[in-house]
Structure 1
Amino acid sequence: MTTLLVVLLCLCASLFPTLSTAKQSPVHPVGSGAEIDLENDPVSADIRAHWMRRAISTLSDLQSTCPFAPFGAVIVNHTVTEPGEGELVCIGVNAVQMDGNPTLHGEVAAINNCTSILTDPAGKYQLSGPDALKAFSDLSLYTTAEACPMCSSAILYGAFREYIYSTPIHGPNSLLAHGWPQIDLPSKEIFARSLGREVRTRIVPQVLANETEGLFVWQFGDGACPASCVKEQDERGWCVEGEKQEVPTGKKASPGREL
């Protein structure tokens, strides 16, 4: 009887797809690669670099020249100019510590700012709520690091045209490699499992990763602070604005800090 049951189970497995396979996206199945073909990117590498540097500059514009959580984002419309230079719509930075809101990662903060700008009755766009939601499908979101699952989902729900990130979650020069607490779930996999959406957000990975990596190296280790910043004399070891001081070696920031 046991042998017969095993045979029946094996037969069923061969005839019917597994649940996980059945629920994979037909457009971006897991493992097939969600990224666009960068050799045929409709936006030039120089323009991509320009907007990623603008995302980096949001950190000093809105947060600090010594940002602890250097997650900055800009949202751009590449559909209104030729050949795709882009028009800035809004910016945002990680405001978790500043506002005491654990959802305000850089990407979410930028999306919230964009909603306010797009729907401002006295502003440039003056869109209704439904029209603002539709407008996101024309917009590209640039962020200094690969989005966490929460932010990846927000980008998907916003149906953005593109999502461009710099420092990745995985790899030798990644967030995980530099000690950043992460939910170990790449945005590519989250995108791949999104079903039933008319707009397929394209991923453009690791733009200027060599320039953003330095933002993340020192914060959970003993690396040097950015220029004009020093490490705080407490258990966190965060870098803050100030004159260079003698700092005890071996001090590390608490990995339990919520980012």
Structure 2
Amino acid sequence: MANSKIILLLGAIASCAAHFTVPNDDQDMSGLTVNSLPWDKRVEYMRKTNQALYSQSGPCPFAAFGAIIVNHTADEVVCEGANFRTGDPTIHGEISAINACTAKFTAMGMTPTQIYAAWGELSLYTNAESCPMCASAIRWAGFKEYIYGTTIQHNYNVGWGVMTLSSYDVFQQSRQLPGYQTVMLGQILTNETDPLFSWQYNASAPCPNGCFRIPSVARGGSTCSNTTATA
């Protein structure tokens, strides 16, 4: 009888977890013109975010988190970043891109004051909604815009370990920071970003970008790859 109760309790916990809703995580801004930039320009740069990921990490990296920093006035990508899983838990795609720009601006001779001012003219794109750490970094920097694709809710639903705090709620708690409030645009091009995060914990999900399933000794089960070597 005791074992049956435990099994029922575990089943109830699993059911609750499976149906958990991340509060305020439905910030769908697709199709909108914001800051005079039309929707198709947002799509163009989210695709560039994915391409930056592939150029740094291959077509189907397990940690498919990529970011770019954009100067929309000049219509150019300034810096790129990806989650390289180096062992430093803070180097997510967004932090990687911010670090790349900081190094670039420093090499150009910009002072720390000038670098801080520069963030306010730039937009950060990430193919997945930022974790609370990265969303906080974006607000501390004072970026003009923050644009993301796949939501925390989606990644929670497909098995990722995530912090279930939406960027919306992080931004709501950052209104006392100096400078202008960063404009947030959510769920941009999710039909192309969601598949990048849907296969890692679901062996039946298709691999993205022409990759295919191979056995994974390191992770157990299988992984996606563009080579035939066992991972």
Q: Calculate the TM-score normalised by the size of structure 1.
A: 0.72
- The equivalent residue for 1:107 is 94
1:118 maps to 105
- The answer to whether residue 146 in structure 2 is matched with residue 152 in structure 1 is no
Q: What residue number does 1:13 align with?
A: none
Cα deviation for residue 199 of structure 1 reads: 1.7
Give the counterpart of 1:191 among 129, 153, 171: 171
Aligned residue pairs total 201
What's 1:175 paired with?
155
Which whole-Å CA distance do the structure 2 matches of 1:180 and 1:205 have between them?
19
The residue number in structure 2 matching 1:239 is: 224
Greater shift after overlay, 220-229 or 150-159? 220-229
Structure 1 residue ranges without an equivalent (≥5): 1-29, 246-259
Q: Is the 8 A contact 1:52 1:143 kept in 2?
A: yes
Residue 138 of structure 1 aligns with which residue?
121
Q: Structure 1 CA distance, aligned partners of 2:29 and 2:150?
A: 17
Match of 1:64 in 2: 58
Match for 2:122: what amino acid? L
Asked if 2 retains the 8 angstrom alpha-carbon contact of 1:38 and 1:204, the reply is no
Offset of 1:127 from its aligned partner?
1.1
| Aligned amino acid, residue 227 of structure 2 | G
Residues 91-120 of structure 1: CA deviation (Å, up to 9, x unaligned): 001112xx2211111111000001011111
CA distance in 2, matches of 1:35, 1:106: 21
Asked if the contact 2:28/2:188 (under 8 Å) is kept, the reply is no
**RMSD over equivalenced CA pairs, Å:** 2.3
Which secondary structure state, in structure 2, belongs to the residue aligned with residue 138 of structure 1?
Answer: coil
The answer to whether the Cα contact below 8 Å between 2:46 and 2:127 also exists between their aligned partners in 1 is yes
Which runs of 5 or more structure 2 residues have no equivalent in the other structure? 1-22
Instruction: Decide whether aligned partners of structure 1 residues 109 and 236 sit closer, same or farther in structure 2, where only a CA change above 3 A counts.
Output: farther
Q: Give the equivalent residue in structure 2 for 1:88.
A: 77
State how far apart, in whole Å, the 1-side matches of 2:83 and 2:181 are. 26
Q: Aligned residue for 1:53?
A: 47
Does structure 1 retain, via aligned residues, the 8 Å contact 2:30–2:188? no
Equivalent position SS for 2:103: helix
Per-residue Cα deviation, 1:133-185 (whole angstroms, up to 9, x for no partner)? 11000000000000000100110111000000000112xxx111111111110
- 1:58 deviates by 1.3
**How does the TM-score come out when normalised to structure 2?**
0.80
Give the 3 Å change call, closer, same or farther, for CA 156–242 of structure 1 in structure 2: same
Counterpart-to-counterpart distance in 2, 1:105 and 1:148: 9
Identity of aligned residues (%): 37
